[in-house]
């Protein structure tokens, strides 16, 4: 037997085994792939996800408290105004008092000096930093994202934010004491913050669901009326019998 084919056979076997080794390395059980891609956030049964369900407004209020005392020191919510909280988590008088605690720059006087005034209902939530450069400098180069639409801007948003909050331990979270006496556990605060951020990203959800039920009711009545009219109007034509009388 000639051995001149052994080098070619060796090269063929090496090339044939290379894809197999590569596929084995790319399986999900590989620790390297798991580290790079991460695990999907588990799905939690949020009470406002169902079709006939609505937001937990007590949870929204607690989530706003946690955001004000903890999250607002780094993260902004530039799309939310104080007036949005009226009737959702607080009364109008409470929101007015809350807005009056901040100072808002509102134009300049005759000498060109910028003056400030107490906040009003139509003012947006205050920004923690003057600009992006100041935010990056205060956070080691990282830019804290705006939280107005964070549950919509992230894949699996609500579950992602909850997993991030419960896995990231901040000593400041232990200082939060709820006004209603609810125990401020890590899971409870994470759930309340997610409820508040979900409402901030989709404040019209309850109104949209209510409008949807109204439209379904009206269209159901219209469908019944159309069905009855169709059977009444066309019953004679559809039930008639044609008889051909052929005379030889």
Q: Which residue in 145, 137, 157 sits closest to 78, CA to CA?
A: 145
Q: Which of 79, 83, 110 is nearest to 94 (CA)?
A: 83
Nearest Cα residue to 120 out of 106, 94, 99, 92: 99
Distance CA 178, CA 183 (A): 7
17 marked among binding-site residues: no
Q: Is 71 annotated as a binding residue?
A: yes
Non-local (6+) Cβ contacts of 194 within 8 A are 46, 63, 151, 158, 161, 162, 165
The residues near 72 (Cβ < 8 Å, ≥ 6 apart) are: 125, 126, 128
Is 48 labeled as ligand-binding?
no
Binding site as annotated, residues? 71, 74-75
State the binding site for heme c. Answer: 71, 74-75
């Amino acid at each position: 037997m000639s051995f001149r084919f052994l080098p070619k056979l060796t090269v063929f076997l090496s090339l044939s085994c290379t894809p197999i080794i590569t596929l084995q390395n790319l399986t999900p059980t590989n620790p390297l792939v798991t580290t790079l891609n991460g695990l999907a956030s588990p799905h939690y049964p949020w009470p406002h996800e169902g079709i006939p369900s609505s937001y937990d407004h007590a949870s929204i209020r607690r989530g706003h408290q946690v955001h004000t005392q903890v999250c607002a020191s780094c993260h902004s919510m530039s799309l939310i105004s104080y007036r949005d909280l009226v009737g959702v988590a607080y009364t109008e008088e409470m929101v007015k008092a809350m807005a009056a605690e901040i100072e808002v720059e509102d134009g300049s006087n005759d000498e060109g000096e910028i003056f400030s005034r107490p906040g009003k209902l139509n003012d947006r939530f205050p920004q923690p930093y003057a600009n992006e450069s100041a935010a990056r400098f205060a956070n080691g180069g990282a830019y804290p994202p705006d939280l107005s639409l964070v549950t919509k801007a992230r894949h699996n948003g609500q579950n992602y934010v909850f997993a991030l909050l419960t896995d990231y331990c901040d000593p400041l979270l232990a200082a939060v004491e709820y006004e209603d006496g609810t125990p401020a556990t890590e899971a409870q605060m994470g759930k309340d913050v997610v409820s508040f951020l979900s409402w901030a990203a989709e404040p019209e959800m309850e109104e949209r669901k209510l409008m949807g039920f109204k439209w379904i009711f009206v269209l159901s009545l219209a469908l019944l009326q159309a069905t009855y009219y169709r059977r009444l109007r066309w019953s004679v034509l559809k039930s008639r019998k044609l008889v051909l009388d052929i005379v030889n």
